[in-house]
């Protein structure tokens, strides 16, 4: 069963490996996993933050600033896209379907944090022209646009330019993502938009208390808009006792959300990060090659074949067709 993964940090892996002198990163490291796991489409979210210096262990070539990171990550990734025939960038739902009909993997470009923008809302248009069709205003930390989930001091929600940015994203036709939003940012976004909003890689807080997970009222709000929630495979977002987390436990998040608001609002957003720390993954769902294990766990949780198709692919595509 084909998988649409709504969140991957793959461009950061490209950045690191190319910086270390490697070539053909997608062909060597990622495409074999996609083929085995039957991954047909992925959102590659450009992970940006103001905290690169604090995260230096993950980056052999630690960027000096978000601006430098944004330029270098995109430059190296675009070169990989150009040189990898089995991957093609998509800008519309029709592009995804066309790319898949050729047996290739469709990649939508996204932003995980509007850092490096210098507070310029016009950068939204720049990113759109470069092919970006998805965006989160923040990663965990705050920036000029909004408060992230690990805000410092007061949860300020959207700033005035954050409001302007969200409205511009909706006008252009970009997927608006709340997975790293603070509580106030989440509700400000819902107030300032009218179309579908997604949480690309979040789980249910009722089953795991991680602050990145969604409360029931947030899940209901996203569902009322026709949005989707991509289930996150990081252990710390699955169980409070994270070392005991299993793939079946992740499937229970799918069951909880489906029972709460309907299966049409459940999707996949695994947030694989085996290339950062191969020992920190979920056993049985360590990387994209093991995606079908999640499909099997969903089946064991009682989802029908039709419901599996919705979670694996159709729900994500429904929202993309409406927004893009």
Q: Residue 28 and residue 69: Cα distance in Å, rounded?
A: 23
Q: Residue 298 and residue 301: Cα distance in Å, rounded?
A: 5
pLDDT tens digit string along 259-280? 999 999 999 999 998 888 877 7
**Are residues 108 and 86 in contact, defined by beta-carbon separation less than 8 angstroms?**
no
In the chain, domain spans:
3-323
Give the residue, 278 or 28, on which the prediction is more confident.
Answer: 28
Q: Residue 195 and residue 224: Cα distance in Å, rounded?
A: 10
Q: What is the pLDDT of residue 273?
A: 87
Q: What is the pLDDT of residue 229?
A: 99
Q: What is the pLDDT of residue 58?
A: 87
Q: What is the pLDDT of residue 161?
A: 98
Tell me which residue of 37, 29, 32 sits closest to 5, measured CA to CA: 37
pLDDT of 321 > 90? The answer is yes
What separation in angstroms does the CA of 138 have from each of 8, 19, 183, 212, 305? 16, 25, 12, 12, 36
Q: What is the pLDDT of residue 306?
A: 98
Average pLDDT in the 300-312 region?
A: 98
Give the residue, 59 or 321, on which the prediction is more confident.
Answer: 321
Q: Residue 19 and residue 72: Cα distance in Å, rounded?
A: 9
Q: What is the pLDDT of residue 11?
A: 97
pLDDT tens digit string along 99-140? 999 999 999 999 999 999 999 999 999 999 999 999 999 999
Helix (H, G, I), strand (E, B) or coil at 309: helix
Q: What is the pLDDT of residue 53?
A: 87
Q: What is the pLDDT of residue 66?
A: 92
At the topology level of CATH, where does 3-323 sit? TIM Barrel (3.20.20)
pLDDT over 70, % of the chain: 100
Q: Residue 47 and residue 270: Cα distance in Å, rounded?
A: 15
pLDDT of 3 > 90? The answer is yes
pLDDT tens digit string along 137-169? 999 999 999 999 999 889 999 999 999 999 999
pLDDT over 90, % of the chain: 94
**Are residues 104 and 87 in contact, defined by beta-carbon separation less than 8 angstroms?**
yes
pTM: 0.97
DSSP type of residue 23 = -
Tell me which residue of 228, 226, 232, 184 sits closest to 208, measured CA to CA: 232
pLDDT tens digit string along 189-238? 999 999 999 999 999 999 999 999 999 999 999 999 999 999 999 999 99
pLDDT tens digit string along 36-86? 999 999 999 999 999 998 888 888 899 989 999 999 999 999 999 999 999
Q: What is the pLDDT of residue 278?
A: 75
């Amino acid at each position: 069963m084909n998988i649409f993964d709504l969140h991957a940090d793959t461009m950061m892996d490209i950045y690191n490996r190319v910086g270390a002198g490697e070539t053909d990163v997608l062909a060597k490291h990622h495409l074999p996993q996609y083929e085995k796991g039957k991954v047909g489409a992925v959102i590659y979210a450009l992970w940006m933050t103001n905290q690169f210096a604090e995260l230096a262990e993950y980056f052999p070539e630690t960027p000096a600033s978000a601006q430098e990171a944004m330029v270098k990550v995109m430059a190296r990734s675009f070169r990989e896209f150009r040189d990898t025939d089995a991957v093609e960038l998509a800008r519309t739902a029709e592009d995804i379907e066309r790319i898949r009909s050729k047996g290739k993997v469709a990649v939508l470009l996204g932003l995980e944090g509007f850092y490096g923008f210098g507070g310029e809302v016009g950068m939204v248009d720049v990113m759109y022209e470069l092919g970006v069709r998805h965006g989160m205003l923040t990663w965990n930390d705050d920036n000029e646009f909004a408060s992230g989930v690990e805000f410092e001091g007061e949860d300020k929600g959207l700033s005035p330019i954050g409001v302007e940015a969200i409205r511009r994203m909706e006008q252009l036709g970009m997927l608006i993502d709340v997975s790293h939003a603070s509580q106030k940012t989440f509700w400000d976004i819902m107030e300032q938009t009218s179309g579908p909003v997604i949480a690309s890689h979040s789980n249910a807080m009722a089953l795991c208390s991680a602050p990145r997970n969604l409360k029931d009222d947030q899940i209901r709000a996203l569902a009322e808009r026709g949005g989707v929630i991509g289930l996150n495979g990081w252990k710390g977002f699955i169980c409070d006792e994270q070392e005991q987390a299993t793939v079946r436990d992740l499937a229970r998040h799918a069951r909880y959300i489906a029972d709460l608001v309907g299966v049409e609002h459940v999707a996949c957003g695994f947030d694989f990060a085996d290339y950062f720390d191969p020992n920190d993954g979920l056993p049985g769902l360590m990387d994209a090659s093991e995606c079908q294990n999640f499909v099997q766990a969903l089946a064991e949780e009682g989802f029908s074949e039709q419901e599996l198709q919705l979670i694996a692919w159709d729900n994500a595509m429904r929202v993309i067709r409406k927004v893009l």
